[in-house]
Structure 1
């Protein structure tokens, strides 16, 4: 029969004091209410905290911060959609779509969102009471002056995107408009994912007192998304960091 060492009987555990880490995780979760444990762990390590991902997750769950809302699963039929080339460089493929919301008094507003599919960077969010084809073209021209001309833009079949005005701009600039199949939002998955983050992290957590207030708060969130929010598909870099690293490597 094996005998235990005498020291075993008198051992006293010495748990590490993790109150500081716990407090910081709670603070991040309180201000970034739609961030999960993995993203909070990245932010904690970025600030210099020495903590592994398992401990971050344990504290995250202990404090009741885990997200409870479940997202519906995609149907398996979505996997059979037509294959599209994956963007391998900046400006190779953009995506754009509309998001609807309202001011505190119920007045409706719309936002045109534009994303670079390669860097995941939010290029623009144009906000107004109503947005027409002319506003879409104006946004494209503005981005063209700032970022250059994309090769391809993925859009749905909304009236603003199938308009002659946008079609003419795209033809003159040599841009291909890549339309999603009707009823298939997964054909434009990047902008769908981005719009979900915009709604969860901005639209659903703010009251907009006026159109100018909405524009200011949404633009602040866009800058935060690009320059602060780590992106798991970019090895936890921010979109801006990923774009600058790509340019620095000589890949324009």
Structure 2
């Protein structure tokens, strides 16, 4: 031992003093101890165990894809909890409810033309077509959707085994009737990509007839149609990947359910955590200040 102490340069008196006077063990972690409860709006204590039960129930329904931040919003609204997202994260982690982090995509520098300022509903719509797959029939189906950039509502959509220009035109007409958009001084903008349905003579003639200004994004620039692309990404992740469709009827019914849920119930982070329909109602009644978008 003397040789070891000499090699390490530790005096013998220091070594033996530490043996006789060991430092007390500190508890793992730093900061104040976890209280094990939170308060609701009435000042009542709610135990972590009960909060965990609520979390389990929340993720068993249509909110299964939500992360801890949106679950925090639901706990506050449904149960009146005074709780922050950090604690919800800790409780979700203890229940193994956190989804694995998605890999970040590499950021590629690109120039975006910010030539539109959107201040209200029915100023700019985006439209695109997405595929779905019916496993039982081993074939794809089509979904054509129109989103209002301002309030993120899916104003109209079409799903079917084919998707040609006539179906696209009927979908636009459905959206115009749903939003009561007629001929006006400042025309509604409809933005699409360069799919064959959107560059046809019939499509161009129809837009002129109903007073809709059609604009197409440049090739290979889906970022200019970001809002409808985002919706289709959510649809893929929270609907398509969670079901194995055996028939077109089953697939169409699930798409109908999801679009209704998206418009009326699914909270949206960029809309003050309100669903699109509720956000638009609150803006129109003066309860919320509208968000101006430049794109």
CA distance in 2, matches of 1:130, 1:232: 34
Match of 1:39 among 61, 64, 70: 70
Aligned residues: 240
Query: Which residue does 1:201 correspond to in 2?
Result: 238
CA, structure 1 residues 19+152, in 2 after alignment: closer, same or farther (shift >3 Å)?
A: same
Q: CA deviation at 1:190?
A: 0.5
Counterpart mapping for 1:157-236 below 5 A? 157-236=194-273
**1:124 paired to 2:161:** no
**1:18 paired to 2:48:** yes
The CA RMSD measured in Å over matched residues stands at 2.2
CA, structure 1 residues 101+14, in 2 after alignment: closer, same or farther (shift >3 Å)?
A: closer
Q: Which has the larger radius of gyration?
A: 2
Q: CA deviation at 1:14?
A: 5.8
Structure 1: gaps spanning 5 or more residues: 1-11
Match of 1:97 among 102, 111, 128: 128
Q: CA deviation at 1:52?
A: 2.1
Query: Which residue does 2:22 correspond to in 1?
Result: none
Query: Which residue does 1:27 correspond to in 2?
Result: 57
SS of residue in 1 equivalent to 2:109: helix
* Moved >4 Å (runs of 4+): none
Q: CA deviation at 1:74?
A: 5.4
Query: Which residue does 2:23 correspond to in 1?
Result: none
Structure 2: gaps spanning 5 or more residues: 1-32, 38-46, 182-186, 290-295
Match of 1:138 among 159, 162, 170: 170
Q: CA deviation at 1:71?
A: 4.5
Query: Which residue does 1:7 correspond to in 2?
Result: none
Q: CA deviation at 1:209?
A: 2.5
Q: TM-score, normalised by structure 1?
A: 0.88
Q: CA deviation at 1:88?
A: 1.1
Counterpart mapping for 1:145-160 below 5 A? 145-149=177-181, 151-160=188-197
Q: CA deviation at 1:29?
A: 2.4
Give the helix-richer structure, 1 or 2.
1
CA, structure 1 residues 94+64, in 2 after alignment: closer, same or farther (shift >3 Å)?
A: same
Contact 1:125 1:218 in 2 (8 A): no
Q: TM-score, normalised by structure 2?
A: 0.76
Contact 2:155 2:178 in 1 (8 A): no
Q: CA deviation at 1:67?
A: 2.3
CA, structure 1 residues 140+129, in 2 after alignment: closer, same or farther (shift >3 Å)?
A: same
